[in-house]
A and B are shown apart, each in its own frame.
Chain A
Amino acid sequence: MKIPLSWLRNYVEIDSDVTDLAHSLTMAGLEVGSIEHIGNKWDSDSLVVAQVIQLEPHPNADRLRLPTLDLGKGEKAKVVCGAPNLEIGQKIVFAKEGANLFNPRSGKHEILKGANIRGIESKGMVCSALELGIGEDNGGILVLDDASVTGTPVKELLSDSILDTELTPNRPDCLSVIGTAYEIAALLGTNITKPESSYQSGDTKVDDRIKVSIQDPFNCPRYTGSFIEKVTVAPSPLWLQDILVKSGQRPINNIVDITNYVMLEYGQPLHAFDFNKLEGDEIIVRQAVECESLETLDSQLKTLTPPMLVIADTSKPIGLAGIMGGINTEIDEETTDIFLEAANFNAANTRATRSALGLNTEASYRFEREIRHELAPVALKRATYLISQLCGGIPAEGIIDTFNAPHHIKTIEITETRFEKILGVSVSMKDIWNIIKRLGFEKIEEDLTQTINVTPPFWRSDISIQDDIIEEYARIYGYDNLPTSNLASPIPSQGSENPQTVREHIRDRLVSAGMNETISYSITDLETINLFDSIPNDQQPISIANPMDASKKYLRPTLVPNVLETLSRNRRTDQQNGLRLFEIGRVFLPLQTDEIDSMPVEKEEIVGAITGFSTSTDLWSESGRLMDFFDAKGIVEHTFRGLSGVLSFTKNDGTMYETGKKADIFLNEVLIGQIGELKSDLSEFFDLSTSPVVIFHLSLEAIQTVAQVQFINYSEPSRYPSSFRDLALISNKEVDSESIVSTIMENKLVADSFPIDKYVGVEVPDGKQSLTVRIIFQSNEKTLSAKEIDRAHIQIIKSLEHRYKISERYS
């Protein structure tokens, strides 16, 4: 909310610098987003109040005139002026040569120089609001109040600072100048002066002229109104227009301006109806009936439905309660009698209505934040007073006050012990009271004891429990002034099983294998989802009701496309290097039931993808090699080292993989995922055809059923040397290397064994392959003799022959 400092000063003494004030307010919870300084560059000598004492035509130009100005202290000036609204007797702002003014033509602040305008020398000028930088109006000169004294520096008269407060939704009371003034009074320790609101009423009694009936008391807990006759609708006085402009409002006419002024002053929205446009003498507050419509003041026809609340006369709606008035009872120049409304409307219903109709107004903004009903009569009387003062109206005697809200504000007990329990420091009731009384709290007991009962100020809707008052004390005292201490309470016990440990182990291992972690968006499009068999055909992925991008509205049921998209995006910008990336994230399975509290199943997946050269393509030391299935497999194997469970791979085709180039991955015989080369049509779809893409796709949930971060199982390393032999074996092609190696490993002298070469070709018969396996022999007990190794060698060959009909290539 924009609040001119000059307006605040009407209610509260401010002895601090405006920047310091803004800081204090911010720390206390009323964030001052910005401060606009008006006239801080004005020079006291060169910008002064002057009076037009003579006005002559310009000899050489029809539209220009030559005013003679009294600058006070016997000083006079005669200049050239083009403003059409200049009149003799007016008090205006005169800028002497050297004044710093905004030049609307150049759009910059410039130093004013003397000029010859159509043959007449003009040293200085009469200023418009725009040139002074206090408004948008450049149609004519700014006319000052008649009471302004000539010769007064304009800086003293018009300079101001406007605080722009960014309020949290709990503080509708500070959507007002007086509410903000109370905050300042509490912060600075100064007092509040309340504005005048007692007026002289005429002979007419309000009840004789109008009746108000409330049909929906829940949505309208209180309705107050006054009747004012014989008003003269005209532009508002300059001071009122000025303050509204500074507060970001557009002046309309005196009646409407007063309702806006009082709304800003107290935070209570008001509305004035042209009484003579009402049918009947009754105001009815009721819910709209189906298909009823109302043309609001912004000239839009709105179709209404219950439970939207309307203000109606006996035949039609005349206003949308708490949001905007109807055009059918608008105040205009002909208006003489008005009915003024200050009511309280239900916050939730106001919010639902304004959001359904797309009508966000100053009034609805306040009502939906829940303002106190006690404000209604206060603001009503203040506005009635101002109308009687400024518009020549005669208020009827009494006000209408229809009431369904509790009459009394609930008292709240506050205790020193609770303050200490929450704040961690003992505070005396005297100190508490000294702060909260300045905010407008009242106490029930005379004396201050450790426990007292207080009532919150009637304009505060956010105070309902003792802890709210603790915050009031703390924020005014200053959070930074409160003590600081470390947690001293016992640390809760934590189980040793942490479900994230395995995942984080995997994440670290993937990184140590040279993989780059990525994180993508959880929402995707249907086309991408349908490329993969992630959910059964008869089920729909979970969709978003209000997506930001209509094409992307589904929660991902698989992480694979996200990783491929990331891969693709990076391939587009980098044609050269090998890419290795992975993501660990949630996927969302379709909702299975319609029960109110059912939630979708979320599962964590791990997807890795590699493509391109294993090293830079042309490093001086080596030539590039495209990464393949076994690079990815190596990464998976590396990842599972340090986790309990035995990893194995079984060939099995899958829809998104190239035939024959895919395996299922098992951990202790539990299926945990797949690995394989991406099918070429998918590579093409993701624009990744330049080199094979190998992906692995793991279910964290499946892994967690088996794997734990391994407890290290220490065994003493052998003190005896190892020796190795390479066996060249001829086998049928169907026999996989894992079977061969595991058979070899069964021999107790074998410490390790692994394939080192594989050959299929002219030197081996059709249907056969040659696999060379290295065997490391080692014992914990002694140095193995060649004979022992030979014996083991022979045993191994026998088992291989027996099981798989494998023979040695060179025997």
Chain B
Amino acid sequence: MDEKAYIDTRTQIEQKALSSLSQIRTVDDLESWRIDTLGRNGTVTGLLRGISDLPVDSRKEAGSEANSLKDILTKKYEDHKADIENSDSIQTENESDFLDVTLPGRNIALGSLHPTTAVVREICQVFESMGFQTIEGPEVELDIYNFQKLNIPEEHPARDMWNSLWIDRELADGSRPLLLRTHTSPMQIRTMESQSPPVRVVVPGKTYRYEATDATHEWQFCQIEGLAVDKDITFANLKGTLEEFARRIFGDKRKARFRCDFFPFVEPGAEVSIDCFKCGGNGCRVCGNTGWIEIMGAGMVHPKVLAGVGYDPEIYSGFAWGMGAERIAMLKYGIDDIRHFYSNDMKFLKQFS
């Protein structure tokens, strides 16, 4: 045997020993492995003995190779032994002939998306599949964008529909230019100002209101705005798009209902409801005995709003909508109190994993 063959043998012994060691689960098997490998007649011992068969000038090198193998395997053996002893209970269970299959499986940590994120994604994906692009905007807004360019001048009574949290900054005339946006609608303006038609966007984001919290009101919540503007967009398109949305989110059998409502930045304006998925429209607690559940506000973009961003309202028309993400999540998952969303209790959150 020459040195090369010797080293090859050493490598083979090492690979074989390590791979068989990794299969071993019991102290008994480990002991037989030790005898086979490191014992008096073991492979490593044999290797060491084989040194004497080599040419003298190769013996030193070979000796150190063989000894290092012995050290490595000895250490591996000890580590493995410790592992087996530490996990004795598993050992016993897996190696016995009869597993108690009713013991719980080993735990795998499960993460979860916040239900608001989950529902926002689901909603945005529905609109994305209809050619809308998801964009986002600032949470601290200018009064001009949050109200004025949306056809809500100062001291307009419609401002009562959006009680605002104002940033502590005053202009010379005493007015406050900045606020936490009360809705995602300012992004209608920002989008149209930054591009020419056609426009098709969906805008999720946090919104804020000066509002006492109760089971159905939060001062911070997530809204999802939508806007489509082009040459031939009609109220029929608004109805078609939002009906399709309602079916995709709440199921094929859902009917959407449109009633007249008022938002200063749309004309005609609408409130969209779906027939109650709980009672099928007969009236129950979920729908407040009306058979219908309000899900969003919508309407045709007001000509003043279009003109304000430089779109000619004689040529272009469009529709917009806004809905509360948490409200949709509450309806979808049967959550009865909006305050759960930002309490961040793991017992709540983990249900959405």
Q: How far is the CA of A789 from the CA of B15 in the complex (A)?
A: 13
Choose from A27, A369, A596, A619 the contact partner of B104 (Cβ within 8 Å).
A619
In chain A, residues 490-516, which have Cβ atoms closer than 8 Å to a Cβ of chain B?
A: 490-492, 494, 498, 500, 504, 507, 510-516
* Pairs A-B, 5 closest by C-beta atoms: A424-B234, A514-B109, A424-B236, A29-B260, A491-B131
* Cβ < 8 Å to B, chain A residues 556-604: 566, 569-570, 573-574, 578-581, 585-586, 588, 591, 596-597, 599-600, 602
A517 touches B107 (CB 8 A): no
Residues of A close to B130: CB separation below 8 A: 487
**Chain A residues within an 8 Å CB radius of B257:** 480
- Bound-state Cα–Cα, A697 to B104, Å: 35
Task: Please name 26 pairs of A and B residues whose Cβ atoms are closer than 8 Å in the assembled complex, sorted by A.
Answer: A168-B262, A169-B157, A170-B262, A348-B153, A422-B234, A465-B267, A482-B235, A484-B239, A485-B234, A485-B239, A487-B241, A498-B134, A546-B166, A555-B140, A555-B180, A580-B109, A581-B346, A599-B141, A600-B140, A615-B109, A619-B107, A621-B89, A621-B103, A786-B10, A808-B68, A810-B68
Residues in A608-640 with C-beta less than 8 Å from chain B? 614-616, 619-622
Q: Report yes or no: A507 in contact with B155, Cβ–Cβ below 8 A.
A: no
B binding-site residues for A, Cβ under 8 Å: 4, 7-8, 10-12, 14-15, 64, 67-68, 71-72, 75, 79, 87, 89-90, 93, 103-104, 106-114, 116-117, 121, 130-131, 133-134, 136, 138-142, 144, 153-158, 160-161, 165-169, 171, 176-178, 180, 198-200, 206, 208, 210, 212, 219-220, 228, 230-237, 239-241, 243-244, 257-262, 264, 267-270, 300, 302-303, 317, 341-347, 349-350, 353
Cα–Cα, bound, A188→B266 (Å): 26
Q: Does B346 contact A579, Cβ atoms closer than 8 Å?
A: yes
Residues of A near B199 (CB, < 8 A) are 492
With beta carbons under 8 angstroms apart, the residue of B111, B140, B240, B342 that contacts A516 is B111
Q: Is the CB of B64 within 8 A of A492?
A: no
Contact with B along A708-727 (1 / 0, CB 8 A): 00000000000000010110
> Is A351 part of the binding interface, using a Cβ–Cβ cutoff of 8 Å?
yes
A514 nearest CB neighbor, chain B only: B109
Min CB–CB distance A612 → chain B (angstroms):
11
> Which residues in A have their C-beta under 8 angstroms from that of B10?
786
Q: Is the Cβ of B262 less than 8 Å from the Cβ of A723?
A: no
Chain B residues positioned under 8 Å from A470 (CB to CB)? 267-268
Residues of A within 8 A of B244 (CB): 486
Residue of A whose beta carbon sits closest to that of B206: A522
Residues of chain A at the chain B interface (Cβ within 8 Å): 26-29, 168-171, 347-349, 351-352, 368-370, 421-425, 465, 467-468, 470-471, 474-475, 479-480, 482-492, 494, 498, 500, 504, 507, 510-523, 542-548, 553, 555, 566, 569-570, 573-574, 578-581, 585-586, 588, 591, 596-597, 599-600, 602, 614-616, 619-622, 723, 725-726, 728, 757, 785-787, 789-790, 808, 810-811
A474 touches B268 (CB 8 A): yes
Q: Shortest CB–CB separation between residue A478 and chain B, in angstroms?
A: 9
Q: Give Cα distance in the complex from A614 to B106, angstroms.
A: 12
Measured CB to CB, the closest approach of chain A to B116, in angstroms, equals 6
Contact B235 A169 (CB under 8 A): no
Cross-chain contact A352 with B155 (CB below 8 angstroms): yes
A668 to B291: give the CA distance in the assembly, Å: 57
Contacts of B239 in A (CB 8 A): 479, 482-485
The 8 Å CB contact of B116, one of A370, A468, A519, A522, is A519
- Distance between Cα atoms of A491 and B117 in the complex (Å): 26
- Contact A168–B237 (Cβ < 8 Å): no
CA distance A662 to B148 in the complex (A): 48
Which A residues touch B303, using CB under 8 A? Answer: 465, 467
Does the CB pair A522–B230 fall under 8 Å?
Answer: no
> A347-B155, A512-B111 are contacts. A467–B262 as well, Cβ < 8 Å?
no
Are B142 and A597 touching (Cβ within 8 A)?
Answer: yes
Q: Once the chains are docked, how many angstroms separate the CA of A295 from the CA of B140?
A: 41
Which residues from A are CB-within-8-Å of B235? 422-424, 474, 482
Smallest CB separation, B312 vs chain A (Å)? 12
Q: Given A474-B268, A543-B167, A786-B7: A351 and B157 within 8 A (CB)?
A: yes
Contact A485 B109 (CB under 8 A): no
Q: Do the beta carbons of A518 and B210 come within 8 Å of each other?
A: no
Tell whether, in the assembled complex, residue A474 and residue B236 are in contact, meaning their CB atoms are under 8 Å apart: no
* Cα-based distance from A569 to B348 in the complex (angstroms): 13
Contact A588 B140 (CB under 8 A): yes
Q: List chain B residues, Cβ under 8 A from A500.
A: 134, 136
A475 near B268 (CB under 8 angstroms)? yes
Q: If the complex has contacts A470-B268, A483-B236, A789-B11, are A542 and B167 also in contact, measured as CB distance less than 8 A?
A: yes
**Complex CA distance for A566 and B341, rounded to whole angstroms:** 12
